[in-house]
Amino acid sequence: MGRKREVVVVTGASAGVGRATVREFARHGAAIGLLARGREGLEGARREVEAAGGQALVLVVDVANPDQVEAAAQEVEESLGPIDIWINNAMTSVFSPIKRMTAEEFKRVTEVTYLGYVYGTLSALKRMLPRDRGTIVHVGSALAYRSIPLQAAYCASKHAVLGFFASLRTELLHDQSHVHTTMVQMPALNTPQFGWVKSRLPRKAQPVPPIYQPEVAARAIYYAAHHPKRREYYPAWSAIRAIFGNKLVPSIADHYLARSGYDSQQYDGADDPNRPHNLWEPVPGDHGARGDFDKRAYLRSSELWAETHVAWLAAAAGLGVLGTMLAFFRRTPGAGTRPEKILRKTA
């Protein structure tokens, strides 16, 4: 008998980071429940999974609806088998100053980007805890720690995800559960969201440089899902700098972003005020994983390599220390000389 396929659920699977993550798991032969609102994107993802040798189940779901999430989880288990990994990833946002936001917009972003993670986690725990195994991955952001202007609803939702995740992790540790959870704090990524997120910016929206391809995020998510005992992962230096810089000098970061945070999120002339956006409904079409910033986006991250090769780095550090010690003893007068030889020399 062949090895059982790993059963994975990915929310927001139709495009962006979710789509890239689906491809990464498909390369390893996983059976994947594809959850999102846009059927065209989901069908595109299904074809890619099957072409890569995986198995896919398309489920049109709005993660802001807990009944739909629960029904999808049940269908995954009935069709593909017990869920091994659940990846909370679906999101939406609004690019706008707070003073121009509406209560309905704040509510919608929060329901998708925060409560969607809660509902997914509840459905995953319902199935994983009785079996005492499984992993829940939360796709986070440097913005879970360091808020920026013009994305208040999204930043607040990511902060909420971080708080929820920390409570969940401590409870699982308390219960000595073999269900694990981890969070991956993403840098700016080249995804289609910047062309479909609702925006009131005078110019086109862009991720704050440096920009990474969504495949970097997907590799980080895959690794985290299979090494979940570590609390958090930081796949790029820009995320590390934002998170730990904010811990050290948050007020300085406030003033810096007040000066730079508006221009750094815009580029290339006026946006079309009448273009479709995905706040309430999916934008039609199959948008794939990448956005419009291929020429400016990095496909590799040295920080991700380091985070996924900790054992190699530890071994290299150990060899370095050993080499230094050997060199020291070779250069030290009398080092390695037997005591009787020293006595003969001094007699």
Amino acid at 24: E
Kindly report whether the peptide bond that precedes residue 149 is cis, defined as omega within 30 degrees of 0.
no
| 222 in active site | no
Cα(253)–Cα(159) distance, integer angstroms: 17
Q: Taking Cα atoms as reference points, which of 150, 175, 178, 180 lies closest to residue 165?
A: 180
Sign of CA dihedral 289, 293, 294, 298: negative
Cα(161)–Cα(163) distance, integer angstroms: 5
- Active-site position among 117, 154, 222, 234: 154
- What is the number of other CB atoms lying within 10 angstroms of the CB of residue 304? 22
Copy the structure tokens of residue 34. 């594809």
Question: Catalytic positions, please?
Answer: 154
